[in-house]
Structure 1
Amino acid sequence: MKMKALLIVAGIFAYTAVLAQTPVAVNGALTVKGNKIVNKNGIPPQLRGISLSWSLWAGRKYYNPAVVDWLSSDFKAAIIRASMGVQPDSGYLQQPEAQKKLIVDVVDEAIKQGVYVLIDWHDHNGHLHIPQSKAFFAEMAQKYKGVPNVIYEIWNEPARIGWDTVKNYSVQVIAEIRKYDPDNLIVVGSPKWDQDVDVAAANPITGFKNIAYSFHYYATDPNHQDGLRAKADKAIKMGLPLIVTEWGVGESNGDGKFDLAMNKKWMDWVEKNKLSWVNWNITDKKETTAILQPQAPANGGWTAAQLSPAGAYIRDQLRVLNK
């Protein structure tokens, strides 16, 4: 009996030790310090992970706890992005309760697994949906106030919209969140699909704490090369805290070529700047940036044969960099 009791105690300690090593247990609440997002010890944690696809169409079936568990345990993702489709068909504007449930299921499981999670208002026309966005984030902020795992990404990708419009939207949504959650990190978009971060840096949002800015790129897109890196370098130098909430191994249309050398150049840049990143995307759609092969199971547990070339590459990167 003594031996059995000792084994039980040892098992409890081992389980506790595993839990203690989760990304959130290690890093705690995230805050902005200067031009960096830092952890509870004041150090940039450089979180790396995976974005679920739009919570519409082919990507919807992967919004479940089993996938969150697999991304955490097998891919070693430290951060997961729940990309709630706002429009068109079957999005939040048409089915708010169904969409909220998909997001909450993912967020709650990410919290259980001790990983960070981005609640992403996945919209290109946020400025046309301010009342809906405010209502959604007010509900999320009340539900997750003070939970260190949760990050609010309030506008995925403003398209060809001026910074004044994006800033006006952002200030309104931030103010709504801060009524209920005074502390958790909020991520703001910028014009031209989160590329004009230098424009935002010239006139940043003030009056609120813990505000960072999303930066997006697609590694082999001809328009996303030295010039785009220079824009981000300029923004960082101007004091803007960045997080890469979306990037893909191919081109910005989700397809195109997958060039390892071009991906390495971007990866080296991100690592040099100690930026956290989230790769796009968990879907089995047949395109370059899809992580999964067509008909991959909806509950994780994917074999090597069920991963796309992008999926195999990203899994390897995460398992090496997040060790």
Structure 2
Amino acid sequence: MRFSLLFFVLLVASVWVSRALAKDAALEPVSKHGQLAVDGVNLVNQNGEKVQLKGMGLFWSIWMPYYYNKTTVDGIKEYCHSNIVRTMTAVDTISGGYLTDPDYENALVDAVIEAAIEDDMYVLLDWQDFEAENHLEASLEFFDRISKKYGSYPNIIYETYNEPITLEWSSLVKPYHEAVIKTIRANDPDNVIILGTPNYSTRLDLAVADPILDQTNIMYSLHFYAGTQKEANRQVAKDAIDAGLPVFVTEYGTVNADASPPVDEEEAELWYTFMDEYGLSYVNFAISDKDEGAAALIPGTAPENVCREDYLTESGRLVVKHNKA
């Protein structure tokens, strides 16, 4: 009986360890994992092995362009222990964006892409919009250019719609995604595409009910802020994964959904445990020196000090701890 009990405990432990992929992300670069793909609910590498990406998202391009450079990307890899960086191409804001000056926005995102390629990192290209179905022509133009120029690199991951506000998945958001997927796939048949879900990328259940079919290497975006989205949101994610939906956490915060403090370490730890157990990839919001709870950097941090320990906020320190765990 004692032997049987010990065997059972070891078996359960081995199953748990096999599911948990957390490790220092800086040691898991593109040169190791190569071309990513989606196998069932899992993100896998060129050898078909489960892989987990962990890293940092930049702030809106229109407001913090000074971090859209190689110096910042270097810091994100080395000091924030990341194998992925996320761009946030602002589309339509009171300060401008892609609709106002596409050449400027393209130059910013290209600088980050080329830095990520040089630094052996993956790069997640976010179309930072809340009503992208109203800007379809611009998004098609953006992703057509990117996929033509960089689609041959395994570093590239597309995020076609940051956070749809609408709850109309089947009639608005899904057709938008299908149009963008078609445009990308004309140039890039392989790299992973991640699709935003309704209600600020929290309603995975709507995509479960009506998923996009006849496509390969697509995933669905989940966003959360630990102080606001808690166990009920984890249950939605669990149910979606159990139903066969591949999920990627393209944006998360350790604070409230409005980016305000405090850091909710207890809930953040529950989320990290959940994501690591399921092998979900996750990208923190944000590499920002704004005086707000979600910022990973203290105010006034220059690019050359990005992610250095003395310049991390409380949130930044917690995020880096898990990026290298």
Task: Name the TM-score, length of structure 2 as normaliser.
Answer: 0.89
CA distance in structure 2 between the partners assigned to 1:117 and 1:30 by the alignment: 12
Deviation, structure 1 residue 269: 0.6
Deviation, structure 1 residue 21: 5.9
Q: Equivalent residue for 1:84? A: 89
SS at match of 2:104: helix
Letter in 2 for 1:86: V
CA RMSD of aligned residues (A): 1.4
Q: Does 1:96 align with 2:96?
A: no
Q: Equivalent residue for 1:138? A: 144
Q: Deviations over 1:189-213 (max 9, x none)?
A: 1100111111101111112211111
CA distance in structure 2 between the partners assigned to 1:249 and 1:292 by the alignment: 14
CA distance in structure 1 between the partners assigned to 2:28 and 2:275 by the alignment: 22
Structure 2 alignment gaps of length 5 or more: 1-25
Q: Is the 8 A contact 1:87 1:93 kept in 2?
A: yes
Q: Does 1:182 align with 2:189?
A: yes
Letter in 2 for 1:36: N
Letter in 1 for 2:245: L
Match of residue 191, structure 1, among 198, 217, 224? 198
Q: Equivalent residue for 1:3? A: none
SS at match of 1:240: coil
Deviation, structure 1 residue 93: 0.6
Q: Equivalent residue for 2:66? A: 61
SS at match of 1:289: coil
CA distance in structure 2 between the partners assigned to 1:78 and 1:285 by the alignment: 24
Q: Equivalent residue for 1:15? A: none
SS at match of 2:316: helix
Q: Equivalent residue for 1:50? A: 56
Structure 1 alignment gaps of length 5 or more: 1-19
Letter in 1 for 2:200: W
For 1:12-23, list aligned pairs within 5 A: 23=29
Q: Equivalent residue for 1:127? A: 133
Match of residue 35, structure 2, among 29, 34, 37? 29
SS at match of 2:73: helix
Q: Deviations over 1:268-304 (max 9, x none)?
A: 1111111000000011111111011111113335543
Q: Equivalent residue for 2:161? A: 155
Letter in 1 for 2:192: L
CA distance in structure 1 between the partners assigned to 2:70 and 2:78 by the alignment: 12
Task: Name the TM-score, length of structure 1 as normaliser.
Answer: 0.89
SS at match of 1:152: strand
Match of residue 208, structure 2, among 198, 201, 208? 201
SS at match of 1:204: coil
Number of aligned pairs? 298
Q: Equivalent residue for 1:12? A: none
Q: Is the 8 A contact 2:75 2:308 kept in 1?
A: no
SS at match of 1:50: strand
Match of residue 217, structure 2, among 206, 210, 214? 210
